[in-house]
A and B are shown apart, each in its own frame.
Chain A
Amino acid sequence: MLTFNILILVALGYVVLLFLVAFWAERRAAAGSVRWLQSPLIYTLSLSIYCTAWTFYGAVGYAARSGLEFVTIYLGPTLIMIGWWWVLRRLVRIGRSQRITSIADLISSRFGKSTQLGVIVTLISIIAATPYIALQLQSVTLSFAVFAEAGGSRWEPAELTAAAAWVAFGLAVFTILFGTRNLDSNERHHGIVMAIAVEAVVKLVALLAVGIFVVWGIAGGPAAMLDRIDTSSIPLWNQAGDRWVTLIFLSAAAFLCLPRMFQVLVVENADERHLRAASWAFPLYLFAMSLFVVPIAVIGLDLLPAGSNPDLFVLTVPLSENREGLAMLSFLGGFSSATSMVIVATIALATMVSNHIVVPIWLRMNNRERAVMSGDVRDVILLARRFSIAGILGLGFVYYRLSGGGAALAAIGLISFAGVVQVLPAMIGGIFWRGATRIGAGLGLATGLVIWLWTLYLPSFGTDAVISTTVMADGPFGVGWLRPRALFGIEGLDPLVHSVMWSILLNTFMFIVGSLTSFPKPLERLQGAQFVNALDQSTGARAWTTAAAGAEDLLVMAQRILGANEAQAIFQREVARQGKRGYLPDVTPQFIEGLERELSGSVGGATAHAMIGQLTGGSGILVEDLIAVADEAAQILEYSNQLEIKSAEQERTARALRDANDKLTALSIQKDAFLSQISHELRTPMTSIRSFSEILGDAQTSPDERERYAGIIHDEALRLTRLLDDLLDLSVLENGQVTLHQQTGRLDALLDRAVRAAGVRPDELDIVRQPGDEAVELTTDLDRLGQVFINLIANAQKYCDADKPRLKIAVSDRHDKLIIDFIDNGSGISTENQQVIFEKFARITDQSKAGGAGLGLAICREVMQRLGGQVSYLHGQYGTAFRVVVPNVTATALAET
């Protein structure tokens, strides 16, 4: 006969076994052999903490009361797992790349490492977890009571309470021992994961064993079982559609949002590929856990006396058949379900409490002193976690006492689910929608929390416990549309459907409206981009661009969090990576970023960011960083813009080069032409000088001839000299080296001198002048201007082909400039030649007649440009006409003399 004492002994033995397993796994992990501990199988089994005592005991009770509705709790997670490609893959990737430590950290990090959001999510999680933990205590206590009763003693409520207290205490000790042993920078707990994997196997085996016993041992095979199901009184499928849909949604959402599920799904995930295996293996586990629930419920209702608690059929059916070994196994299964859930849940919650509530407060309090003791933050965190674990279990115990331990297990579990799913909109919105903001998330979370508390959580304590009957019936202060069971006056809904629908709808609504109307901070936008694009990018944009912090300060801070050894190891790695010697690496933005990741693995994103921010002086995001991540499209745009700018630049350069090339080519051609002209011009006189000097050398030359030839040589030499003078003159003018001698003189005198200097004889050229107009005074370089006049007069003398050459010099005074026209009565210059007469060596007529090199007009043009005026060919004068414009004449017309 199974006595109660043996049961206690077995339970204790089982606990010791778990201790050993956890201890062994920690040792293995410490020794570095984590390969086996991090297999897809272990990962899948660790997910089984979803199946708590609620599943183990409660599912049968649920089925006995509501038929197949119990299965919705497992269909939701199945959908999430088989749809891992949608959400889970993304979550795991984000969790790994951002070193997320909890669901509160996820929300907080996503929305700009906000401390407030972390606090809100932590509070929601704790409030929601409390009934859930109470549920586990209740189920374990009830299972003890069952055995006590089988042993002949009926437990009083006081004994039940004492048992619950002992269970809570034992769980707290185990969790503190293995959950807060170290502050891993990855927040992984190998010992605990291994222990819950063992428990997962135990509870599956236990439930399957009971199921097989029921189907084959009692009913007599599957066919007979199906017959009994059909004839049973359970309304197996009498399902209301709204509850069916709501519950599937609720369980799916809770699977993602429960802190303990997030812990095993994301935080403890060592390899993304494990998810692939778990995608079908975990649904299979759920399937196996659910398979025999209905048979056990049906047989239990048939076998046991009316009024027995259906939540305990898994235990009572084997006991009633005197299968004590099976009952013991079943007890261990239930015990495993309850303990594994409580352990992971309290660890996850304790992490959240320490990282998002305790440490921020502690940092704020100790900000002034900046305690520099190595590992002090780490000690605070570990202490906070230990107290949190004890505190959370204490809360669960209090809830158990308050609720009286009488409610159906499934009902309690659903209340808890409805609470945690309030995180869903912020979570899904945060990882899929870049427009989601901190304000929106905060509004949504707060709205959802309040509605859930009001419509489901507070009423769950029972009538008149928190909310009075009158408020339930008439609403607070008589406001009817605020009744907890009939918000907005819509009555008749199932309370759970009512609460979930309104809380999630309004939560999502506020989240979206808040996000649309608020403007995110720079860090928020940066984080948003990193989260939403987690699958695309391996390297994110920098959050730290300035390296204002000293390496030593950073080391001190890292030591406070991680402890001396681990912190120094990180710094040593960085020193080695940078290829330096010594202990302190260069503080690069990459290093700060990496260090922040390491730290956030221990204390959460918000705290790590705040601590680094203390050292570096605020968040170091520059506008350029924001632009770089503002939008993916913007990135592409920026890229193409850069390309465009570059190509435009290249095009400009190419064009400039082409122009320069053209200019050089033209110059080169000009130079060639100039050189050939020069040599030609030089050769002609040289040729005659050489030939005549040869003739002179000949003895037979008569003195007459000798004189004539000498004259020719002299003339040619003069011409050569003139040419060289002109060239020199032109070169000086073109290079701008000429210095002008400003003089003031009268124009008529200047013209007189020019006519004389040109050597014009009245019979060769008749010069017609207008003495009245010429009586002006002007200030300019008179010598240079005279040179121009001489040139023009000499030209007329040389080229005028009229029978009676005549040159008319007309002067007109136009206020700011003086115009002097030289017009002869020759045949003029053809249009095409007008273009070139001012060019060097441009000569229209035969050179022998001209006797010049063709530089005269070119020199004139240069001179006039230097004087600020111009010389141009004047059209329409029936002869060759040049106009000289002298600017800026200070002259005033003189009185006629």
Chain B
Amino acid sequence: MKKQPQPGVFLERSSYRQRRLRDAGLLVPVLGIILWLVPLLWDKGDPQNGKSMAMLYIFGVWVLLILLTALIARLIRPSDDKPSKDEPA
């Protein structure tokens, strides 16, 4: 039985980088969820945790995520919108 021609197993380096960037783009929100759930584990009895500390943490994570997303969005080439079949999405 004959099959359709298979794409090569290995991609060239730049395409490989693009794929991993997409993976990273998919994982950023997961990272965000995890980091934003961390404060729930804090000891509520500790007065140090109650106030500005929590605010700084949450807003700090926010900045981090924005920077990561901006970096990835800048690096991803929009023209390479083709290989979507092997994406998990």
Contact B62 A283 (CB under 8 A): yes
Q: Indicate whether A229 sits within 8 Å of B52 (C-beta atoms), given known contacts A280-B69, A640-B4.
A: yes
Max chain B C-beta neighbours (<10 A), residue from A78, A85, A277, A536? A85
**Given A244-B40, A283-B62, A647-B2, A276 and B29 touching (CB < 8 A)?**
no
How far does the alpha carbon of A279 sit from the alpha carbon of B40 in the complex, in Å?
26
> Quick one: which of A80, A229, A244, A279 contacts B51, CB cutoff 8 A?
A229
In the bound complex, residues from chain B placing their C-beta under 8 Å from that of A68 are 54-55, 58
Task: Say if the beta carbon of B22 comes within 8 Å of chain A.
Answer: yes
Contact between A85 and B59, CB atoms less than 8 A apart = no
Interface pair A226/B52, CB less than 8 Å apart: yes
Total A-B residue pairs with C-beta atoms closer than 8 Å?
115
Which of B58, B78, B84 lies in contact with A535, CB distance below 8 A? B84
CB < 8 Å neighbour of B32 from A82, A229, A284, A640: A82
Instruction: Of the listed stretches A232-240, A324-332, A464-472, name the one at the interface; the rest are far from the partner chain.
Output: A232-240
How many interface residues does B have (CB within 8 Å)? Answer: 44
Known contacts A68-B55, A68-B58, A236-B52, A280 near B66 by CB under 8 Å: yes
Query: Are A640 and B69 in contact (CB-based, < 8 A)?
Result: no
What residues on B are CB-neighbors of A237 within 8 Å? 39, 42, 44, 49-51, 53-55
Select which of B1, B2, B52, B69 is within 8 A of A283 by beta carbon: B69
Q: How far is the CA of A650 from the CA of B87 in the complex (A)?
A: 38
Interface string of B53-82 (1 = CB under 8 A from A): 111101100110111111001001010010
Q: Are A85 and B52 in contact (CB under 8 A)?
A: no
A75 located at the interface, meaning its Cβ lies under 8 Å from any Cβ of chain B in the complex: yes
When the two chains form the complex, which single residue of A238, A280, A536 contacts B70, counting CB atoms closer than 8 Å?
A280
Inter-chain contact A86/B89, CB cutoff 8 Å:
yes
Which of A85, A236, A248, A636 has a CB less than 8 Å from the CB of B22? A85
- Report whether A82 and B29 are in contact in the complex, using a CB–CB cutoff of 8 Å: yes
> A284-B66, A639-B4 are known contacts. Are A82 and B54 too (CB-CB below 8 A)?
no
Contacts A230-B51, A236-B55, A237-B54 known; A78 to B4 CB distance under 8 Å?
Answer: no
Whether the pair A241, B40 counts as a contact (CB closer than 8 A) is yes
Given A83-B26, A86-B26 in contact, is the A236-B50 Cβ separation under 8 Å?
yes
Whether the Cβ atoms of A283 and B66 lie closer than 8 Å is yes
A569 close to B (CB within 8 Å): no
Most buried by B among A68, A241, A290: A68
State whether A85 touches B40 (Cβ < 8 A).
no
The answer to whether A536 and B63 touch across the interface, beta carbons within 8 angstroms, is no
* A640 neighbours in B (Cβ, 8 Å): 1-4
Assembly CA distance A71 to B81 (angstroms) = 34
Kindly supply a per-residue 1/0 record for chain A positions 744-784, scoring 1 wherever the CB is within 8 Å of any chain B CB and 0 otherwise: 00000000000000000000000000000000000000000
Q: Evaluate contact between B32 and A79: CB separation under 8 angstroms.
A: yes
Chain A: CB-nearest residue to B89: A86
In the complex, the answer to whether A71 meets B58 with C-beta atoms within 8 Å is yes
Q: Is A273 in the interface zone, CB < 8 Å from B?
A: yes
Task: Say whether, besides A79-B32, A82-B28, A245-B37, A536 and B85 are in contact (CB < 8 Å).
Answer: yes
Q: Is A287 an interface residue (CB 8 A)?
A: yes
A553 within 8 A of B: no
A78 touches B25 (CB 8 A): no
Q: Give the CA-CA distance A291 to B25 in the complex, in Å.
A: 25
Query: Does A90 sit within 8 A of B, measured CB to CB?
Result: yes
**In the complex, what residue of chain A is closest to B47 when comparing beta carbons?**
A230
In the complex, whether B9 has a CB less than 8 A from a CB of chain A is: no
Kindly identify which residue among B26, B36, B50 contacts A235, using a CB–CB cutoff of 8 Å: B50
- Taken together as a complex, chains A and B put the C-alpha atoms of A25 and B84 apart, in Å, by 36
Tally A residues with Cβ within 8 Å of B: 47
Q: Is B33 an interface residue (CB 8 A)?
A: yes
Determine which of A82, A272, A290, A294 lies in contact with B69 in the assembled complex, contact meaning CB atoms within 8 Å.
A82
Contacts of A83 in B (CB 8 A): 25-26, 28-30, 32
Q: Which A residues touch B42, using CB under 8 A?
A: 237
| A642-677 interface (Cβ within 8 A of B) | 643-644, 647
Contact A280 B63 (CB under 8 A): no
Known: A75-B36, A279-B73, A640-B2. A85 touches B62 (CB 8 A): no
Q: A535 to chain B: which residues have CB within 8 Å?
A: 81, 84, 87, 89
What A residues does B56 contact at CB under 8 A? Answer: 226
Q: A284 contacts which chain B residues (CB < 8 A)?
A: 66
Bound: A291/B85 CA distance, A:
40
Across the interface, do B89 and A90 meet the contact criterion of CB distance under 8 Å? yes
A83 to B25, CA, bound (A): 7
Contacts of A78 in B (CB 8 A): 32, 62, 65
B62 to chain A, nearest CB (A): 5
CB atoms of A273 and B65 under 8 A apart: no
> Which residue of B is nearest A227, CB measured?
B52
Q: 0/1 per residue, A66-90, Cβ < 8 Å to B?
A: 0010010001001111111110011
B50 touches A238 (CB 8 A): yes
- B44's partner among A82, A238, A273 (CB-CB below 8 A) is A238
Q: Closest CB-CB distance, A242 to chain B, in whole Å?
A: 10
Known contacts A78-B32, A79-B29; is-contact A85 B89 (Cβ 8 Å): yes
Most central of A82, A89, A643 by chain B CB within 10 Å: A82
How far is it, in angstroms, between the C-alpha of A398 and the C-alpha of B54 when the chains are bound?
Answer: 40
Given contacts A536-B84, A536-B85, A287 and B62 within 8 Å (CB-CB):
yes
Chain A residue nearest to B36 (CB atoms) is: A75
Residues of A within 8 A of B39 (CB): 237, 239
Give min CB distance, B63 to chain A, whole Å: 7
Q: In the complex the two chains form, what is the Cα distance from A296 to B53 in whole Å? A: 17
Across the two chains, which residue of chain A brings its CB closest to B70? A280
Question: A291 to chain B: which residues have CB within 8 Å?
Answer: 59
Tell me, in angstroms, the Cα distance from A621 to B8 when the chains sit together.
37
- In the bound assembly, the distance between CA atoms of A83 and B54 in angstroms comes to 24
What's the least CB distance linking B23 to chain A, in Å? 9
Q: Evaluate whether A85 and B54 lie within 8 angstroms (CB atoms) in the complex, with A75-B36, A237-B49, A644-B2 already known.
A: no
Q: Mark B16-32, 1 if CB is under 8 A from A, else 0.
A: 00000010011011101
| Nearest B-chain residue to A271, judged by Cβ | B78
Q: Which residues of A contact B69 (CB under 8 A)?
A: 81-82, 279-280, 283
> With the chains together, A658 CA to B71 CA distance in Å?
65
CA distance A248 to B85 in the complex (A): 30
Distance, CA A414 to CA B10, complexed state (A): 49
Tell whether, in the assembled complex, residue A239 and residue B40 are in contact, meaning their CB atoms are under 8 Å apart: yes
**Is the CB–CB distance between B2 and A643 below 8 Å?**
yes
**Residues in A whose Cβ lies below 8 Å from that of B3:** 640
Q: A75-B36, A276-B76 are in contact. Are A229 and B55 (CB under 8 A)?
A: yes
A-side contacts of B49, CB under 8 Å: 237
Interface 0/1 of A663-696, CB less than 8 Å to B: 0000000000000000000000000000000000
Task: Kindly list chain A residues whose C-beta atoms are within 8 Å of the C-beta of B78.
Answer: 272-273, 276
Instruction: Please name the residue on chain B nearest to A63 by beta carbon.
Output: B55
User: In the complex, which residue of chain A has the Cβ closest to the Cβ of B41?
Assistant: A241
Closest Cβ–Cβ distance, residue A281 to chain B (whole Å): 8
**Cα distance A481–B49 when bound, in Å?**
39
Contact A287 B44, beta carbon cutoff 8 Å: no
Enumerate A243-290 residues with CB–CB distance to B below 8 Å.
244-245, 248, 272-273, 276-277, 279-280, 283-284, 287, 290
Q: How far is the CB of B51 from chain A (nearest CB, A)?
A: 4
Having A85-B22, A639-B4, one finds 17 other A-B pairs with CB under 8 Å, namely A78-B32, A79-B32, A82-B65, A83-B30, A85-B26, A230-B52, A236-B55, A237-B42, A237-B54, A239-B39, A239-B40, A244-B37, A244-B40, A276-B76, A536-B85, A640-B1, A644-B1
Q: What would be 22 A-B contacts, judged by CB atoms less than 8 Å apart?
A: A68-B55, A71-B58, A75-B32, A75-B62, A78-B32, A80-B29, A83-B25, A83-B28, A230-B52, A235-B50, A237-B55, A239-B40, A248-B33, A276-B73, A279-B73, A280-B66, A280-B67, A280-B69, A287-B66, A535-B81, A640-B2, A644-B1
List the 4 shortest-distance A-B pairs measured between CB atoms, nearest first. A83-B29, A237-B54, A280-B70, A280-B69
